[in-house]
Chain A
Amino acid sequence: MELNILTLCYIIGSVTFILGLKMLSHPLRARNGNLVAAAGMTIAIFGTIFLYKDDAGNKLHNYGWIFGGIAIGGIIGTLAAKKVKMTAMPEMVSMFNGMGGACAALISLIEFGHIPDISTAPTGMLIIIFAGLVIGSVSFAGSMIAWGKLNGSIKDFAFKGQHLLNILLLLVIVGLSVYLTGWRPETAKVLVFGILGLSLLYGVFFVFPIGGADMPVVISLLNSFTGVAAACGGFLYDNKVMLTGGILVGAAGTLLTILMCKAMNRSLTNVLIGSFGGSSNGAGAKKQQGSYKEITLSDAAVVMAYANKVMIVPGYGLAVAQAQHACHELEKILAEKGVEVKYAIHPVAGRMPGHMNVLLAEADVSYEKLLEMEHANEEFPSTDVVLVLGANDVVNPAAKTDPASPIYGMPILDVELAKLVIINKRSMKPGYAGIDNELFFKPKTSMLFGDAKKVLQDLIGEIKNL
Protein backbone atom coordinates (compact mmCIF):
# COMPACT_ATOMS: atom_id res chain seq x y z
CA MET A 1 0.00 0.00 0.00
CA GLU A 2 2.67 2.46 1.06
CA LEU A 3 4.81 1.63 -1.95
CA ASN A 4 1.83 2.17 -4.21
CA ILE A 5 1.29 5.61 -2.71
CA LEU A 6 4.97 6.35 -3.27
CA THR A 7 4.60 5.33 -6.91
CA LEU A 8 1.66 7.71 -7.14
CA CYS A 9 3.80 10.46 -5.58
CA TYR A 10 6.47 9.87 -8.20
CA ILE A 11 3.95 9.93 -11.04
CA ILE A 12 2.59 13.22 -9.73
CA GLY A 13 6.15 14.53 -9.47
CA SER A 14 7.01 13.58 -13.06
CA VAL A 15 3.81 15.10 -14.44
CA THR A 16 4.31 18.35 -12.54
CA PHE A 17 7.86 18.66 -13.87
CA ILE A 18 6.66 18.39 -17.45
CA LEU A 19 3.66 20.62 -16.77
CA GLY A 20 5.86 23.11 -14.94
CA LEU A 21 8.32 23.40 -17.81
CA LYS A 22 5.41 23.70 -20.23
CA MET A 23 3.84 26.51 -18.19
CA LEU A 24 7.20 28.22 -17.85
CA SER A 25 7.05 28.74 -21.58
CA HIS A 26 4.18 31.21 -21.30
CA PRO A 27 4.73 34.58 -19.61
CA LEU A 28 1.33 34.59 -17.92
CA ARG A 29 1.53 31.08 -16.55
CA ALA A 30 5.25 30.93 -15.89
CA ARG A 31 5.09 31.69 -12.20
CA ASN A 32 2.39 29.12 -11.59
CA GLY A 33 4.43 26.64 -13.60
CA ASN A 34 7.33 27.11 -11.25
CA LEU A 35 5.06 26.63 -8.24
CA VAL A 36 3.49 23.52 -9.77
CA ALA A 37 6.94 21.98 -10.27
CA ALA A 38 7.94 22.97 -6.75
CA ALA A 39 4.80 21.37 -5.31
CA GLY A 40 5.48 18.17 -7.26
CA MET A 41 9.03 18.17 -5.98
CA THR A 42 7.84 18.53 -2.39
CA ILE A 43 5.43 15.62 -2.79
CA ALA A 44 8.16 13.44 -4.28
CA ILE A 45 10.66 14.36 -1.55
CA PHE A 46 8.32 13.74 1.41
CA GLY A 47 6.94 10.62 -0.25
CA THR A 48 10.48 9.30 -0.42
CA ILE A 49 11.28 10.16 3.17
CA PHE A 50 8.23 8.49 4.69
CA LEU A 51 7.22 5.78 2.24
CA TYR A 52 10.40 4.51 0.60
CA LYS A 53 11.31 0.86 1.18
CA ASP A 54 14.34 -0.94 -0.21
CA ASP A 55 14.18 -4.34 -1.89
CA ALA A 56 14.28 -6.11 1.44
CA GLY A 57 11.32 -4.08 2.67
CA ASN A 58 13.29 -1.94 5.12
CA LYS A 59 12.20 1.64 5.61
CA LEU A 60 14.67 4.51 5.69
CA HIS A 61 16.22 5.56 8.97
CA ASN A 62 18.57 8.37 10.06
CA TYR A 63 15.64 10.82 9.98
CA GLY A 64 17.58 13.24 12.17
CA TRP A 65 20.35 13.50 9.60
CA ILE A 66 17.90 13.80 6.71
CA PHE A 67 15.79 16.56 8.26
CA GLY A 68 18.90 18.29 9.58
CA GLY A 69 20.36 18.37 6.08
CA ILE A 70 17.12 19.57 4.54
CA ALA A 71 16.76 22.28 7.18
CA ILE A 72 20.32 23.56 6.72
CA GLY A 73 20.12 23.44 2.92
CA GLY A 74 16.66 24.93 2.89
CA ILE A 75 17.54 27.88 5.09
CA ILE A 76 20.81 28.69 3.33
CA GLY A 77 19.20 28.21 -0.08
CA THR A 78 16.22 30.47 0.70
CA LEU A 79 18.36 33.20 2.22
CA ALA A 80 20.86 33.11 -0.65
CA ALA A 81 18.11 33.17 -3.25
CA LYS A 82 16.20 35.98 -1.54
CA LYS A 83 19.20 38.18 -0.94
CA VAL A 84 20.88 37.89 -4.32
CA LYS A 85 20.72 40.93 -6.56
CA MET A 86 18.95 40.61 -9.88
CA THR A 87 22.18 41.29 -11.73
CA ALA A 88 23.90 38.47 -9.88
CA MET A 89 21.22 35.95 -10.86
CA PRO A 90 23.36 34.01 -13.35
CA GLU A 91 26.03 33.38 -10.71
CA MET A 92 23.37 32.11 -8.37
CA VAL A 93 21.94 29.70 -10.95
CA SER A 94 25.45 28.47 -11.62
CA MET A 95 26.08 27.98 -7.91
CA PHE A 96 22.86 26.00 -7.35
CA ASN A 97 23.62 23.97 -10.44
CA GLY A 98 27.02 23.08 -9.02
CA MET A 99 25.39 21.95 -5.78
CA GLY A 100 23.17 19.54 -7.72
CA GLY A 101 26.19 18.19 -9.58
CA ALA A 102 28.12 17.67 -6.37
CA CYS A 103 25.11 15.91 -4.88
CA ALA A 104 24.97 13.49 -7.82
CA ALA A 105 28.72 12.83 -7.59
CA LEU A 106 28.49 12.14 -3.84
CA ILE A 107 25.64 9.67 -4.39
CA SER A 108 27.75 7.76 -6.91
CA LEU A 109 30.74 7.79 -4.59
CA ILE A 110 28.73 6.42 -1.66
CA GLU A 111 27.02 3.79 -3.77
CA PHE A 112 30.41 2.68 -5.07
CA GLY A 113 31.56 2.33 -1.48
CA HIS A 114 28.49 0.16 -0.79
CA ILE A 115 29.43 -2.41 -3.42
CA PRO A 116 30.49 -5.42 -1.34
CA ASP A 117 32.63 -7.09 -3.99
CA ILE A 118 33.47 -5.29 -7.18
CA SER A 119 34.18 -8.49 -9.13
CA THR A 120 30.54 -9.56 -8.90
CA ALA A 121 28.91 -6.14 -9.33
CA PRO A 122 26.67 -5.84 -12.40
CA THR A 123 28.37 -4.06 -15.31
CA GLY A 124 25.42 -1.76 -15.95
CA MET A 125 25.47 -0.58 -12.35
CA LEU A 126 29.18 0.24 -12.50
CA ILE A 127 28.78 2.16 -15.76
CA ILE A 128 25.98 4.21 -14.25
CA ILE A 129 27.89 4.90 -11.05
CA PHE A 130 30.93 6.11 -13.01
CA ALA A 131 28.78 8.16 -15.38
CA GLY A 132 27.07 9.86 -12.44
CA LEU A 133 30.40 10.46 -10.72
CA VAL A 134 32.16 11.90 -13.78
CA ILE A 135 29.27 14.05 -15.05
CA GLY A 136 28.38 15.27 -11.56
CA SER A 137 31.96 16.27 -10.71
CA VAL A 138 32.55 17.99 -14.04
CA SER A 139 29.32 19.90 -13.55
CA PHE A 140 30.25 20.86 -9.99
CA ALA A 141 33.80 22.02 -10.74
CA GLY A 142 32.74 23.76 -13.93
CA SER A 143 29.86 25.56 -12.24
CA MET A 144 32.09 26.77 -9.46
CA ILE A 145 34.57 28.21 -11.97
CA ALA A 146 31.69 29.78 -13.92
CA TRP A 147 30.38 31.25 -10.67
CA GLY A 148 33.81 32.68 -9.85
CA LYS A 149 34.18 34.13 -13.32
CA LEU A 150 30.79 35.80 -13.29
CA ASN A 151 31.37 37.51 -9.97
CA GLY A 152 34.82 38.50 -11.12
CA SER A 153 36.93 36.57 -8.62
CA ILE A 154 38.43 34.28 -11.29
CA LYS A 155 40.12 35.71 -14.35
CA ASP A 156 40.25 34.10 -17.76
CA PHE A 157 43.17 31.77 -17.93
CA ALA A 158 44.43 29.81 -20.91
CA PHE A 159 47.72 28.28 -21.92
CA LYS A 160 49.09 26.64 -25.02
CA GLY A 161 47.96 23.09 -25.56
CA GLN A 162 45.10 23.45 -23.14
CA HIS A 163 42.58 21.97 -25.55
CA LEU A 164 44.86 19.02 -26.12
CA LEU A 165 45.18 18.57 -22.37
CA ASN A 166 41.38 18.70 -22.01
CA ILE A 167 40.90 15.98 -24.60
CA LEU A 168 43.67 13.95 -22.98
CA LEU A 169 42.09 14.34 -19.55
CA LEU A 170 38.73 13.22 -20.90
CA LEU A 171 40.33 10.18 -22.54
CA VAL A 172 42.09 9.23 -19.29
CA ILE A 173 38.83 9.58 -17.35
CA VAL A 174 36.92 7.41 -19.82
CA GLY A 175 39.83 4.94 -20.02
CA LEU A 176 40.03 4.61 -16.26
CA SER A 177 36.26 4.07 -16.00
CA VAL A 178 36.37 1.41 -18.73
CA TYR A 179 39.34 -0.27 -16.98
CA LEU A 180 37.51 -0.39 -13.65
CA THR A 181 34.33 -1.69 -15.28
CA GLY A 182 35.95 -4.23 -17.60
CA TRP A 183 38.84 -5.56 -15.54
CA ARG A 184 37.61 -4.99 -11.96
CA PRO A 185 41.05 -4.54 -10.33
CA GLU A 186 41.50 -4.92 -6.56
CA THR A 187 42.61 -1.29 -6.37
CA ALA A 188 39.25 -0.03 -7.66
CA LYS A 189 38.31 1.51 -4.30
CA VAL A 190 41.33 3.79 -4.56
CA LEU A 191 41.22 4.37 -8.31
CA VAL A 192 37.66 5.66 -8.08
CA PHE A 193 39.05 8.69 -6.27
CA GLY A 194 41.38 9.13 -9.23
CA ILE A 195 38.31 9.37 -11.48
CA LEU A 196 36.79 11.89 -9.08
CA GLY A 197 39.95 14.03 -8.99
CA LEU A 198 40.48 13.98 -12.74
CA SER A 199 36.82 14.82 -13.39
CA LEU A 200 37.03 17.82 -11.08
CA LEU A 201 40.21 18.88 -12.84
CA TYR A 202 38.53 18.48 -16.22
CA GLY A 203 35.61 20.61 -15.06
CA VAL A 204 38.04 23.35 -14.03
CA PHE A 205 40.04 23.28 -17.27
CA PHE A 206 36.86 22.99 -19.29
CA VAL A 207 35.55 26.36 -18.11
CA PHE A 208 38.83 28.17 -17.39
CA PRO A 209 39.70 29.45 -20.88
CA ILE A 210 36.17 30.56 -21.71
CA GLY A 211 35.47 34.28 -21.53
CA GLY A 212 33.22 35.60 -18.79
CA ALA A 213 30.51 36.71 -21.20
CA ASP A 214 30.30 33.23 -22.72
CA MET A 215 29.36 31.76 -19.36
CA PRO A 216 25.62 31.55 -20.14
CA VAL A 217 26.27 28.88 -22.75
CA VAL A 218 28.51 27.01 -20.35
CA ILE A 219 26.05 27.23 -17.47
CA SER A 220 23.23 26.03 -19.68
CA LEU A 221 25.39 23.12 -20.80
CA LEU A 222 26.43 22.25 -17.25
CA ASN A 223 22.77 22.53 -16.29
CA SER A 224 21.92 19.77 -18.74
CA PHE A 225 24.95 17.78 -17.49
CA THR A 226 23.58 17.85 -13.98
CA GLY A 227 20.23 16.72 -15.36
CA VAL A 228 21.90 13.67 -16.88
CA ALA A 229 23.81 13.04 -13.64
CA ALA A 230 20.50 13.11 -11.75
CA ALA A 231 19.07 10.67 -14.27
CA CYS A 232 22.01 8.33 -13.53
CA GLY A 233 20.79 8.28 -9.94
CA GLY A 234 17.36 7.38 -11.29
CA PHE A 235 18.88 4.39 -13.11
CA LEU A 236 20.75 3.36 -10.00
CA TYR A 237 17.69 3.23 -7.75
CA ASP A 238 15.23 2.42 -10.52
CA ASN A 239 13.56 5.66 -9.46
CA LYS A 240 11.28 6.99 -12.16
CA VAL A 241 10.87 10.53 -10.92
CA MET A 242 14.64 11.10 -10.83
CA LEU A 243 14.89 9.56 -14.26
CA THR A 244 12.14 11.67 -15.83
CA GLY A 245 13.22 14.88 -14.11
CA GLY A 246 16.88 14.36 -14.98
CA ILE A 247 16.38 13.41 -18.62
CA LEU A 248 13.80 16.18 -19.07
CA VAL A 249 16.31 18.79 -17.91
CA GLY A 250 19.13 17.11 -19.81
CA ALA A 251 17.20 17.32 -23.08
CA ALA A 252 15.74 20.77 -22.48
CA GLY A 253 19.09 22.14 -21.30
CA THR A 254 20.85 20.78 -24.35
CA LEU A 255 18.31 22.39 -26.66
CA LEU A 256 18.59 25.68 -24.79
CA THR A 257 22.38 25.48 -25.13
CA ILE A 258 22.11 24.89 -28.86
CA LEU A 259 19.70 27.83 -29.20
CA MET A 260 22.18 30.08 -27.39
CA CYS A 261 25.08 28.83 -29.50
CA LYS A 262 23.07 29.57 -32.65
CA ALA A 263 22.35 33.10 -31.49
CA MET A 264 26.06 33.62 -30.91
CA ASN A 265 27.07 31.80 -34.06
CA ARG A 266 29.15 29.16 -32.34
CA SER A 267 28.98 25.45 -32.89
CA LEU A 268 28.26 23.13 -30.01
CA THR A 269 31.35 21.01 -30.77
CA ASN A 270 33.35 24.17 -30.37
CA VAL A 271 31.88 24.52 -26.92
CA LEU A 272 32.36 20.89 -26.00
CA ILE A 273 36.12 20.84 -26.55
CA GLY A 274 36.33 24.05 -24.61
CA SER A 275 37.88 26.17 -27.30
CA PHE A 276 35.98 29.37 -27.67
CA GLY A 277 36.98 32.71 -26.33
CA GLY A 278 40.68 32.02 -26.76
CA SER A 279 40.51 31.22 -30.46
CA SER A 280 39.13 34.58 -31.47
CA ASN A 281 42.09 36.53 -30.13
CA GLY A 282 43.72 36.64 -33.54
CA ALA A 283 41.37 39.28 -34.88
CA GLY A 284 41.92 41.50 -31.87
CA ALA A 285 45.19 42.75 -33.27
CA LYS A 286 43.42 44.32 -36.22
CA LYS A 287 44.24 48.01 -36.45
CA GLN A 288 41.64 50.60 -35.67
CA GLN A 289 39.89 52.08 -38.66
CA GLY A 290 40.00 55.84 -38.64
CA SER A 291 38.90 57.95 -35.72
CA TYR A 292 35.78 58.14 -33.62
CA LYS A 293 33.98 61.19 -32.35
CA GLU A 294 32.65 61.85 -28.89
CA ILE A 295 29.42 63.53 -27.94
CA THR A 296 28.97 65.61 -24.81
CA LEU A 297 26.30 64.80 -22.27
CA SER A 298 24.33 67.94 -22.98
CA ASP A 299 24.36 67.34 -26.74
CA ALA A 300 23.23 63.78 -26.19
CA ALA A 301 20.46 65.02 -23.90
CA VAL A 302 19.29 67.53 -26.51
CA VAL A 303 19.16 65.09 -29.44
CA MET A 304 17.29 62.56 -27.36
CA ALA A 305 14.80 64.99 -25.86
CA TYR A 306 13.87 66.37 -29.29
CA ALA A 307 13.75 63.05 -31.12
CA ASN A 308 10.51 61.38 -32.13
CA LYS A 309 11.64 57.89 -31.43
CA VAL A 310 14.51 56.63 -29.30
CA MET A 311 15.58 53.01 -29.22
CA ILE A 312 17.65 51.79 -26.31
CA VAL A 313 19.95 48.82 -26.88
CA PRO A 314 20.91 47.44 -23.46
CA GLY A 315 23.86 45.09 -23.12
CA TYR A 316 26.37 43.52 -20.79
CA GLY A 317 27.59 46.94 -19.64
CA LEU A 318 24.15 47.86 -18.36
CA ALA A 319 23.96 44.64 -16.37
CA VAL A 320 27.41 45.15 -14.87
CA ALA A 321 26.68 48.76 -13.93
CA GLN A 322 23.25 47.74 -12.58
CA ALA A 323 21.82 50.63 -14.52
CA GLN A 324 18.38 49.17 -15.22
CA HIS A 325 16.57 51.57 -12.86
CA ALA A 326 18.39 54.60 -14.25
CA CYS A 327 17.48 53.33 -17.69
CA HIS A 328 13.80 53.22 -16.82
CA GLU A 329 14.06 56.73 -15.34
CA LEU A 330 15.46 57.99 -18.61
CA GLU A 331 12.66 56.25 -20.50
CA LYS A 332 10.01 57.89 -18.31
CA ILE A 333 11.47 61.37 -18.55
CA LEU A 334 11.77 61.07 -22.32
CA ALA A 335 8.21 59.81 -22.54
CA GLU A 336 7.06 62.90 -20.64
CA LYS A 337 8.67 64.97 -23.37
CA GLY A 338 6.63 63.08 -25.94
CA VAL A 339 9.42 60.85 -27.17
CA GLU A 340 8.55 57.30 -28.10
CA VAL A 341 11.02 55.06 -26.28
CA LYS A 342 11.52 51.36 -26.96
CA TYR A 343 14.10 48.75 -26.11
CA ALA A 344 15.78 46.52 -28.66
CA ILE A 345 16.72 43.25 -27.02
CA HIS A 346 19.26 41.04 -28.71
CA PRO A 347 18.75 37.35 -27.84
CA VAL A 348 22.17 37.08 -26.20
CA ALA A 349 22.32 40.56 -24.69
CA GLY A 350 23.35 40.66 -21.06
CA ARG A 351 24.75 37.72 -19.22
CA MET A 352 22.14 35.18 -20.21
CA PRO A 353 19.49 34.97 -22.90
CA GLY A 354 16.48 36.79 -21.53
CA HIS A 355 18.60 38.35 -18.79
CA MET A 356 17.91 41.87 -20.10
CA ASN A 357 14.18 41.26 -19.96
CA VAL A 358 14.43 40.16 -16.36
CA LEU A 359 16.58 43.14 -15.43
CA LEU A 360 14.33 45.66 -17.15
CA ALA A 361 11.26 43.98 -15.71
CA GLU A 362 12.77 44.48 -12.27
CA ALA A 363 12.99 48.19 -13.04
CA ASP A 364 9.27 48.21 -14.01
CA VAL A 365 9.85 48.66 -17.72
CA SER A 366 6.63 47.64 -19.40
CA TYR A 367 6.58 44.45 -21.39
CA GLU A 368 5.32 45.99 -24.64
CA LYS A 369 8.33 48.28 -24.87
CA LEU A 370 10.75 45.37 -25.21
CA LEU A 371 11.25 44.50 -28.85
CA GLU A 372 12.84 41.26 -29.95
CA MET A 373 15.55 41.46 -32.54
CA GLU A 374 13.43 40.99 -35.68
CA HIS A 375 10.90 43.63 -34.68
CA ALA A 376 13.60 46.03 -33.56
CA ASN A 377 15.37 45.71 -36.89
CA GLU A 378 12.14 46.63 -38.66
CA GLU A 379 11.86 49.76 -36.55
CA PHE A 380 15.41 51.08 -36.77
CA PRO A 381 14.88 52.90 -40.09
CA SER A 382 12.18 55.05 -38.47
CA THR A 383 14.24 55.66 -35.32
CA ASP A 384 15.94 58.98 -34.68
CA VAL A 385 18.37 58.09 -31.94
CA VAL A 386 19.70 54.73 -30.86
CA LEU A 387 21.30 54.64 -27.43
CA VAL A 388 23.58 51.62 -27.06
CA LEU A 389 24.26 50.92 -23.39
CA GLY A 390 27.27 48.71 -22.91
CA ALA A 391 26.51 46.44 -25.84
CA ASN A 392 29.17 45.80 -28.44
CA ASP A 393 29.28 42.57 -30.40
CA VAL A 394 25.50 42.40 -30.83
CA VAL A 395 25.65 45.63 -32.87
CA ASN A 396 28.90 44.92 -34.71
CA PRO A 397 28.32 45.14 -38.47
CA ALA A 398 31.37 42.91 -39.02
CA ALA A 399 28.99 40.03 -38.34
CA LYS A 400 27.43 40.84 -41.71
CA THR A 401 30.27 42.28 -43.74
CA ASP A 402 33.51 40.60 -42.72
CA PRO A 403 33.69 36.83 -43.38
CA ALA A 404 37.02 36.70 -41.53
CA SER A 405 35.44 37.97 -38.33
CA PRO A 406 34.90 35.42 -35.57
CA ILE A 407 31.33 36.60 -35.15
CA TYR A 408 30.56 36.50 -38.90
CA GLY A 409 27.04 35.22 -39.47
CA MET A 410 25.73 36.11 -36.03
CA PRO A 411 22.44 37.97 -36.29
CA ILE A 412 22.85 41.55 -35.09
CA LEU A 413 20.77 44.62 -34.36
CA ASP A 414 21.04 46.92 -37.38
CA VAL A 415 21.42 50.12 -35.39
CA GLU A 416 23.12 51.72 -38.42
CA LEU A 417 19.73 52.11 -40.06
CA ALA A 418 18.76 54.74 -37.50
CA LYS A 419 19.57 58.40 -38.03
CA LEU A 420 21.98 58.73 -35.13
CA VAL A 421 23.72 56.22 -32.91
CA ILE A 422 25.02 57.11 -29.46
CA ILE A 423 27.21 54.45 -27.92
CA ASN A 424 27.87 54.39 -24.22
CA LYS A 425 30.91 52.35 -23.24
CA ARG A 426 33.48 52.59 -20.53
CA SER A 427 36.37 52.73 -23.00
CA MET A 428 37.29 51.86 -26.57
CA LYS A 429 38.26 48.38 -25.47
CA PRO A 430 36.73 45.68 -27.68
CA GLY A 431 33.92 43.43 -26.40
CA TYR A 432 34.38 39.87 -25.26
CA ALA A 433 34.84 38.52 -28.78
CA GLY A 434 38.03 40.58 -28.80
CA ILE A 435 37.34 42.37 -32.06
CA ASP A 436 37.07 45.97 -33.09
CA ASN A 437 33.70 47.36 -33.95
CA GLU A 438 33.72 49.46 -37.09
CA LEU A 439 30.36 50.86 -36.05
CA PHE A 440 32.21 53.12 -33.62
CA PHE A 441 34.04 54.81 -36.48
CA LYS A 442 30.98 55.44 -38.67
CA PRO A 443 30.05 59.09 -39.25
CA LYS A 444 26.59 58.51 -37.77
CA THR A 445 28.08 57.21 -34.53
CA SER A 446 29.03 59.22 -31.47
CA MET A 447 30.68 57.85 -28.38
CA LEU A 448 29.62 58.71 -24.84
CA PHE A 449 32.19 57.28 -22.47
CA GLY A 450 31.56 56.37 -18.86
CA ASP A 451 29.88 53.93 -16.53
CA ALA A 452 26.37 53.20 -17.83
CA LYS A 453 24.63 54.10 -14.57
CA LYS A 454 26.46 57.38 -14.07
CA VAL A 455 25.99 58.43 -17.68
CA LEU A 456 22.27 57.69 -17.51
CA GLN A 457 21.85 59.65 -14.29
CA ASP A 458 23.74 62.60 -15.79
CA LEU A 459 21.61 62.38 -18.93
CA ILE A 460 18.44 62.47 -16.85
CA GLY A 461 19.74 65.53 -15.04
CA GLU A 462 20.55 67.27 -18.33
CA ILE A 463 17.18 66.49 -19.85
CA LYS A 464 15.38 67.79 -16.76
CA ASN A 465 17.24 71.07 -17.10
CA LEU A 466 16.32 71.54 -20.74
Chain B
Amino acid sequence: MDSILNWITGNQQIIYIVILMIFVGIEVIGHVPSVLHTPLMSGANAIHGVVIIGAIIVMGKAESDNYLALILGFMAVILGTLNVVGGFVVTDRMLEMFKKKKKK
Protein backbone atom coordinates (compact mmCIF):
# COMPACT_ATOMS: atom_id res chain seq x y z
CA MET B 1 0.00 0.00 0.00
CA ASP B 2 2.77 2.39 1.01
CA SER B 3 4.68 1.73 -2.17
CA ILE B 4 1.63 2.58 -4.26
CA LEU B 5 1.08 5.83 -2.38
CA ASN B 6 4.76 6.67 -2.74
CA TRP B 7 4.56 5.98 -6.44
CA ILE B 8 1.57 8.29 -6.75
CA THR B 9 3.36 11.06 -4.89
CA GLY B 10 6.53 10.54 -6.87
CA ASN B 11 4.72 10.73 -10.19
CA GLN B 12 2.01 13.22 -9.31
CA GLN B 13 3.03 15.63 -12.07
CA ILE B 14 2.56 12.98 -14.71
CA ILE B 15 -0.68 11.77 -13.17
CA TYR B 16 -2.04 15.33 -13.18
CA ILE B 17 -1.06 15.73 -16.84
CA VAL B 18 -2.75 12.46 -17.78
CA ILE B 19 -6.00 13.31 -15.99
CA LEU B 20 -6.16 16.86 -17.32
CA MET B 21 -5.29 15.79 -20.85
CA ILE B 22 -8.07 13.18 -20.86
CA PHE B 23 -10.56 15.92 -20.05
CA VAL B 24 -9.04 18.36 -22.52
CA GLY B 25 -9.11 15.72 -25.26
CA ILE B 26 -12.78 14.97 -24.66
CA GLU B 27 -13.77 18.64 -24.35
CA VAL B 28 -11.96 19.71 -27.48
CA ILE B 29 -13.49 16.95 -29.59
CA GLY B 30 -16.95 17.31 -28.12
CA HIS B 31 -17.87 20.33 -30.24
CA VAL B 32 -16.66 19.03 -33.58
CA PRO B 33 -19.41 18.90 -36.23
CA SER B 34 -19.66 15.51 -37.91
CA VAL B 35 -18.63 17.15 -41.18
CA LEU B 36 -15.11 17.42 -39.86
CA HIS B 37 -14.82 13.96 -38.33
CA THR B 38 -12.58 12.50 -41.02
CA PRO B 39 -10.11 15.41 -41.10
CA LEU B 40 -10.18 15.43 -37.32
CA MET B 41 -9.35 11.75 -37.11
CA SER B 42 -6.57 12.32 -39.59
CA GLY B 43 -5.28 15.32 -37.65
CA ALA B 44 -5.32 13.40 -34.37
CA ASN B 45 -3.52 10.62 -36.20
CA ALA B 46 -0.76 13.06 -37.16
CA ILE B 47 -0.50 14.38 -33.61
CA HIS B 48 0.18 10.98 -32.09
CA GLY B 49 3.10 10.88 -34.48
CA VAL B 50 4.77 12.79 -31.63
CA VAL B 51 6.02 9.31 -30.77
CA ILE B 52 8.81 10.14 -33.22
CA ILE B 53 10.47 12.14 -30.45
CA GLY B 54 10.92 8.88 -28.57
CA ALA B 55 12.38 7.33 -31.71
CA ILE B 56 14.83 10.22 -32.09
CA ILE B 57 15.93 9.89 -28.47
CA VAL B 58 16.42 6.13 -28.85
CA MET B 59 18.32 6.63 -32.09
CA GLY B 60 20.49 9.39 -30.73
CA LYS B 61 21.46 7.39 -27.67
CA ALA B 62 22.35 4.16 -29.42
CA GLU B 63 26.01 3.20 -29.27
CA SER B 64 27.56 3.15 -32.70
CA ASP B 65 28.46 -0.56 -32.41
CA ASN B 66 25.02 -1.74 -31.30
CA TYR B 67 23.70 -2.55 -34.74
CA LEU B 68 20.40 -4.04 -33.58
CA ALA B 69 19.51 -0.83 -31.71
CA LEU B 70 20.74 1.28 -34.63
CA ILE B 71 18.68 -0.56 -37.21
CA LEU B 72 15.54 -0.78 -35.09
CA GLY B 73 15.94 2.87 -34.10
CA PHE B 74 16.43 3.88 -37.71
CA MET B 75 13.24 2.04 -38.66
CA ALA B 76 11.43 3.70 -35.77
CA VAL B 77 12.51 7.16 -37.01
CA ILE B 78 11.34 6.37 -40.55
CA LEU B 79 7.99 5.02 -39.36
CA GLY B 80 7.46 7.92 -36.96
CA THR B 81 8.24 10.46 -39.69
CA LEU B 82 5.82 8.71 -42.04
CA ASN B 83 3.16 9.06 -39.37
CA VAL B 84 3.84 12.75 -38.74
CA VAL B 85 4.48 14.01 -42.26
CA GLY B 86 1.94 11.81 -44.00
CA GLY B 87 -0.67 12.57 -41.37
CA PHE B 88 -0.35 16.34 -41.60
CA VAL B 89 -0.17 16.38 -45.40
CA VAL B 90 -3.26 14.18 -45.79
CA THR B 91 -5.18 16.31 -43.31
CA ASP B 92 -4.13 19.47 -45.10
CA ARG B 93 -5.29 18.04 -48.42
CA MET B 94 -8.69 17.22 -46.98
CA LEU B 95 -9.10 20.64 -45.41
CA GLU B 96 -7.86 22.46 -48.47
CA MET B 97 -11.04 21.38 -50.20
CA PHE B 98 -13.22 22.72 -47.44
CA LYS B 99 -11.44 26.03 -47.66
CA LYS B 100 -11.94 26.29 -51.40
CA LYS B 101 -15.62 25.72 -50.87
CA LYS B 102 -15.99 28.55 -48.40
CA LYS B 103 -14.69 31.23 -50.76
CA LYS B 104 -17.41 30.68 -53.32
Contacts and interface: CB of A to CB of B under 8 A. Distances in A.
Interface in A1-24: 13, 17-18, 20-22, 24
Contacts of A96: 45-46, 49, 82-83, 86-87, 90
Contacts of A106: 55, 58, 72-73, 75-76, 79
B17 interface: yes
Contacts of A33: 43
A361 B93 CA distance: 11
Contact of A73 (B41, B53, B78, B100): B78
- DSSP class of B's interface residues: helix, strand, loop or mixed? helix
Contacts of A73: 77-82, 84-85
Interface stretch (A306-314, A334-342, A351-359): A351-359
A354 B57 contact: no
Interface in B15-53: 17-18, 21-26, 28-53
A367 interface: yes
B9 interface: no
A53 B95 CA distance: 37
**B contact residues, range:** 35 or more
B91 to A, nearest CB: 5
Contacts of A22: 28
Contacts of B33: 25, 27, 372
A89 B96 CA distance: 14
A59 B59 CA distance: 12
A251 B26 contact: yes
B103 to A, nearest CB: 11
Contacts of B100: 361, 364
B79 A248 contact: no
Interface string A393-412: 00000000000000000000
A78 B46 CA distance: 13
B81 A372 contact: no
B97 interface: yes
B51 A62 contact: no
B50 A245 contact: yes
B49 A100 contact: yes
Contacts of B22: 247, 250-251
B81 A110 contact: no
Nearest to B49: A100
Nearest to B54: A233
A242 B30 CA distance: 22
A250 B48 CA distance: 8
Q: Interface centre among A13, A27, A44, by most B CB within 10 Å?
A: A27
20 contacts: A13-B50, A17-B50, A22-B28, A25-B29, A34-B88, A41-B49, A62-B64, A70-B81, A73-B82, A76-B78, A78-B86, A99-B80, A102-B75, A103-B83, A245-B50, A251-B21, A251-B25, A252-B25, A353-B38, A361-B100
- List the 9 closest pairs (A to B, CB-CB), nearest first: A60-B60, A73-B81, A251-B25, A69-B77, A77-B86, A354-B37, A233-B54, A245-B50, A77-B85
